[in-house]
Structure 1
Amino acid sequence: MGAAFCCLLWGSAYPAIKNGYEIFQIATDDLPGKIVFAGYRFVIAGLLLLAFAFLQGKPIARLSRQQYSQLAVLGVTQTAIQYIFFYIGLAYTTGVKGSIMNATGTFFSVLLAHFIYQNDKLSINKVVGCVLGFAGVMVVNFNSQLMDFSFSLMGDGFVVLAAFILSAASLYGKRISQTMDATIMTGWQLAIGGLVLTAGGYACGGTLAFHGWESVAILGYLALLSSVAFALWSLLLKHNRVGMIAPFNFLIPVSGAVLSAIFLQESILEWRYALALVLVCFGIWRVNVVRGSRVN
């Protein structure tokens, strides 16, 4: 139940972000405004995680100069640069397509790990999983008449690029986590990356005007989902076998697509969305089953 709850939170980010644009009255072409919006979310999320670690009695500031430098690099790449592309991309595509496109990050991680780690090479099951996943990405971009291939560089392309950057930065974060508590590492990188986003957005003329309690609620929810989901997911991995928890990742694109259809009034009844979801979810399952069995 805990793992399913985490994936539901992560999936709900897609419609929540698009609703946030409407509530904060951020126009589609208002890039600085989107950056400020992202910055606020991750500064708050990072502070919440650091507070959570502090309440657990962990030394959140007892780090070396080298570790702070590593956190700065991680924050700029994994949070700032990655979310610049993600937020822009989501504004130019539908929530349903965005949730599926972002699932390509799993396959990028598998491919990058093949070239970096000697004990994590590609296998038949991993190749099959990657092929199925990218097949789902291709299917979702065909229009209902199969007469055209719909792919927006500013929308779909940026979401896929964000997924790749996240995968590469996550591998760097994995190396850092060997000498640092994972919760503290993530809290700092979210806060640092959020500050970079906020400062950059304001420097480019962005603003963020709050419009009543709905503004506070949506921003608070987006920050909480990042903090709560990560903390709970880390706790589950600590006390359970990886092979038991990892397959739940397939719920993220499913929940993202379903929640987008419900809250954003986007169509999910077309056959391409159903087929794409099946392909992506089965592909993620195949990859994670292999990972889980090897770890354990």
Structure 2
Amino acid sequence: MPNSNSSLLSRPAAVLLLATFCCLLWGSAYPAIKHGYAMFGIARHDVASQMVFAGVRFVAAGLLLLLAACVMGWGVRIKRQDWTSVAGLGLSQTALQYIFFYIGVANATGTKSSIMNTTGTFFSVLLAHFIYHNDRLSGRRMLGCLVGFVGVAAANYGPTLLQPDFTWAGEGSVVLAAFILSAASIYGKKLSQRLNAAVMTGWQMAIGGAVLLMGGWLAGGHMADFTLPSAALMAYMALLSALAFSIWSALLKHNPVGRVTIFNFLIPVFGVTLSAIFLGEDVFALKNGVALVLVCVGIWLVTAEKRVTRPAPAVLEPARL
């Protein structure tokens, strides 16, 4: 992004509003996907058609971002040496991750999916410990991971400990998708340091979406004909992806990871609330409430930065209004 946007995107108020907006969009994806399957006649076990559905969404989202980049005058050209990196990001962050994510959402409730997907935050913390020398696990972070995983376990509590409310096709696939996304995001942050975040995101979504689309078609996947309501839903899902991923990538580029990822705790809050509103799911079950609280506390513990008192001149600390 242009240098003039750097100071704007690092302002606390901007981070608060933009990060919350991204989490709201991502939280709305859970009921939107469920409704999309119903509108396009896609069965829960029809993986090929789910790939086609995801492919259409992300190709459209990628093209929207690239079009916006052209309108803004940023240009969409990528240097030859960066194509392999961007393509790899698209194959992992969009194609592979969303294969598992869409399978998982098809076989689990929107409420459970939004809670299980928060494991991505804890995976990011664990991976960063082994990748970055200045991002080691502290006692606070280890406690946060423990509390968060206990929350995830609470969401999957079944009639007995030997009969958990958990399936590999449902909740397991969402967790695997969260792990892939956390690993790809660490690589994407590094790549965004030399590329425009919106252009990078647009190309990786278009590439990953095309792989999903072609793979689904070749495997026999299909979607019912578009109607006005289903087209409007698909347009919304493409737009939410384009906006959320590009804004989030820009925030990560211009801010410390901890300052941005702390807002991840809002995704299950929005996801659970919107699933209750639009899907009529029972989110007031005791285990769901306990899981949501524990997961949010866990994410806060691993991402909240301790305030450090500095005797530096006032000019070094931007005014907060």
* Alignment correspondent of 1:59: 75
Deviations 1:158-204 (A, max 9, x none): 10000001111112212222221111111110000000000001111
* Alignment correspondent of 1:11: 27
* Alignment correspondent of 1:148: 163
* Alignment correspondent of 1:41: 57
Q: Could you list the runs of 5+ residues in structure 1 that have no partner in the other structure?
A: none
1:92 to 100, 104, 107: 107
* Alignment correspondent of 2:304: 289
* Alignment correspondent of 1:212: 227
Deviations 1:234-267 (A, max 9, x none): 5656787766544322110111011112211111
Aligned residues, how many?
293
Deviation at 1:223, TM superposition (A): 0.6
3-state SS of the aligned residue for 1:27?
coil
- The root-mean-square deviation of aligned C-alpha atoms, in Å, is 2.2
Aligned counterparts of 1:173 and 1:11: Cα–Cα separation in 2: 21
The answer as to whether partners of 2:189 and 2:252 remain within 8 angstroms in 1 is no
3-state SS of the aligned residue for 1:188?
helix
Deviation at 1:148, TM superposition (A): 3.2
Alignment CA distance shift 1:198-1:212 (3 Å): same
Amino acid at match of 1:152: T
Aligned counterparts of 1:20 and 1:140: Cα–Cα separation in 2: 25
3-state SS of the aligned residue for 2:193?
helix
The answer as to whether partners of 1:210 and 1:216 remain within 8 angstroms in 2 is no
* Alignment correspondent of 2:288: 273
Deviations 1:109-144 (A, max 9, x none): 000010011011101111111111111110000136
The answer as to whether partners of 1:7 and 1:248 remain within 8 angstroms in 2 is yes
Structure that is richer in helix per residue: 1
Deviation at 1:64, TM superposition (A): 2.3
Aligned counterparts of 1:290 and 1:2: Cα–Cα separation in 2: 19
Aligned counterparts of 1:19 and 1:221: Cα–Cα separation in 2: 12
Aligned counterparts of 1:81 and 1:23: Cα–Cα separation in 2: 24
Deviations 1:40-99 (A, max 9, x none): 0000111111122222221211x2222111111111111001100000011111110000
1:230 to 240, 245, 267: 245
Is 1:22 the equivalent of 2:38?
Answer: yes
The share of aligned pairs that are identical, in percent, is 57
Deviation at 1:7, TM superposition (A): 1.1
The answer as to whether partners of 1:144 and 1:272 remain within 8 angstroms in 2 is no
Matches within 5 A, 1:176-187: 176-187=191-202
The answer as to whether partners of 2:264 and 2:299 remain within 8 angstroms in 1 is yes
3-state SS of the aligned residue for 2:304?
helix
Amino acid at match of 2:57: R
Is 1:127 the equivalent of 2:142?
Answer: yes
2:133 to 118, 140, 151: 118
The answer as to whether partners of 2:193 and 2:253 remain within 8 angstroms in 1 is no
Alignment CA distance shift 1:67-1:147 (3 Å): closer
3-state SS of the aligned residue for 1:290?
coil
Aligned counterparts of 1:30 and 1:49: Cα–Cα separation in 2: 29
